[in-house]
A = this chain, B = another copy of it.
Amino acid sequence: MIPGGLAFGVFSAGDGRRRVGARVGNHVVDVARVLGDATFAQPSLNAFLAGGPEAWAAACVRLTRLIERKAAPLVPLDSVTLHLPFQVADYVDFYSSIEHATNIGRIFRPDSEPLLPNWRHLPVGYHGRAGTVVVSGTPIVRPSGQLGAGEFGPTRKLDIEAEVGFVVGVGSPLGAPISVDAIDEHVFGVVLLNDWSGRDIQSWEGQPLGPFLGKSFATSISPWVVPLEALASARVTPPRQNPAPLPYLAAREPWGLDLALEVSVNGVVVSRPQFAGMYWTPAQQLAHLTANGARTRTGDLFASGTVSGPTRDQCGSLIELTWDGRDRLAFPDGSIRTYLEDGDTVTITATAPGGVDLGEVTGTVAPAFRPVGSA
């Protein structure tokens, strides 16, 4: 038994060479060295991810045995640098919390039905920018953009979205939808994800084609990918769906994940979203994503959308926690926040039953850069 569970990432130490590491508590194991396998002597997990479920399980078994026998040299985590763990192919973001979608509907369309007509029929989602997925710890420069007609400047509504991301290991060819029961054959594991958002940019640009620059400046992920297999004991029955899902979304044994998230701003917990309450499951998201025949590739990342629960202190975004700035968050040191200020640090952590630690995704807001052509 590895404390916190095994997780995989990419690290470098003294020589700067990036290679695959396995997290063991507060230490990291150089996997290529310990297993003598060149698949791991690479600057990304992609080659390992492409190996499929048997290769994933075999590596975990061998590593666990060597670590338990103390036959694997452990390097202190604080002596290494962690990097983006995999090369992101396509990035899709869903919108699968019914509480989050309802809250956003209430905030933006107070006079209409908060959930749009399609929401209970399909997991609504969109493609994000794969090239700006960054590893936890990367500074988040406050983005500039159009805030309304004729107005350009740094966002005044810099927000977070606490999410869980799923990493595709084994892709699927064009024209071959992935069954809702086949997620384990394709998805390697789970990361924590912060989908940073500039709400003013997003709301001005977003019609009719959806989020673009309000999101594409940065999406942070945790450096450690936790194998789905390590979360077997975290599987729970997801909320009942009404209407019943269409056949391609109806799993034989539907499951969600009992992940307890915590969102902190400057070290103070502001929210505790519960992933177990998500309406649409990861298996449904993957089946939907490929229902039209779209292929998937090693390194595809799909995320849950903001994880929010039924009470205010379970919401995974500041737009919900402050009701778009109408309310304020008060901190013990006397400071208050609606949206993020420069210098603020946001950290999302999560744990799962069975003692599994999903690590953290963190980022600190840096001031906006000077726009092109400004004096």
Asked whether, in the complex, the Cβ of A373 is within 8 Å of the Cβ of B248, the reply is yes
Within 8 A of B (CB), among A139-171: 141, 143-146, 149-150, 152
Cβ A150 vs Cβ B121 within 8 A: yes
Given contacts A131-B90, A292-B144, A369-B175, contact A212 B125 (CB under 8 A): yes
Contact of A207 among B116, B174, B204, B246 (CB under 8 A): B116
The contact of A295 among B132, B144, B211, B297, by CB within 8 Å, is B132
Beta-carbon nearest neighbor of A117 in chain B: B149
How far in angstroms is the closest Cβ of chain B from A265? Answer: 22
Instruction: List, in ascending order, chain B residues with CB within 8 A of A141's CB.
Output: 174-175, 293
Complex Cα spacing A123 to B78, Å: 45
Interface status of A35 (Cβ within 8 A of chain B)? no
Tell me, yes or no, whether A17 is within 8 Å of chain B by CB: no
Residue of A127, A292, A371 with highest tally of chain B CB at under 10 A: A292
The reply on A22 being an interface residue by CB < 8 A is: no
Which B residues touch A117, using CB under 8 A? Answer: 149
B-contact bits for A204-218, CB 8 A (1 contact / 0 none):
111111111110111
A131 touches B293 (CB 8 A): no
User: Which residues on B sit within 8 Å (CB–CB) of A357?
Assistant: none
How far, in Å, is A285 (CB) from chain B's closest CB? 11
Contact with A116, one of B90, B127, B208 (Cβ below 8 angstroms):
B208
Find A152's partner among B213, B246, B294 (CB 8 Å cutoff). B246
Contacts A118-B205, A211-B209, A246-B146 hold; do A217 and B293 have CB atoms under 8 A apart? yes
Task: Using A121-B150, A146-B121, A292-B143 as known contacts, say yes or no to A129 and B210 having CB atoms under 8 A apart.
Answer: no
**Contact partner, A129, options B124, B127, B129, B216, Cβ 8 Å:** B127
Q: A175 — which chain B residues lie within 8 A by C-beta?
A: 141, 369
Q: Residue A177 contacts which of B89, B150, B371 (CB distance < 8 angstroms)?
A: B371
Task: Say which residue of B90, B176, B213, B246 sits within 8 Å of A294 (CB atoms).
Answer: B213
Does A255 sit within 8 A of B, measured CB to CB?
no
Distance of A243 Cα from B148 Cα, bound (Å): 13
* CB atoms of A126 and B129 under 8 A apart: no
Interface residues of A (CB under 8 A from B): 89-90, 95, 116-118, 121-122, 124-132, 134, 141, 143-146, 149-150, 152, 174-177, 179-180, 198, 201, 204-214, 216-218, 243, 246-248, 287-289, 291-297, 300, 369, 371-373
- Contacts A125-B212, A144-B293, A201-B292 aside, 7 further interface pairs with beta carbons under 8 A come to A118-B204, A121-B150, A131-B297, A143-B293, A174-B218, A210-B211, A217-B293
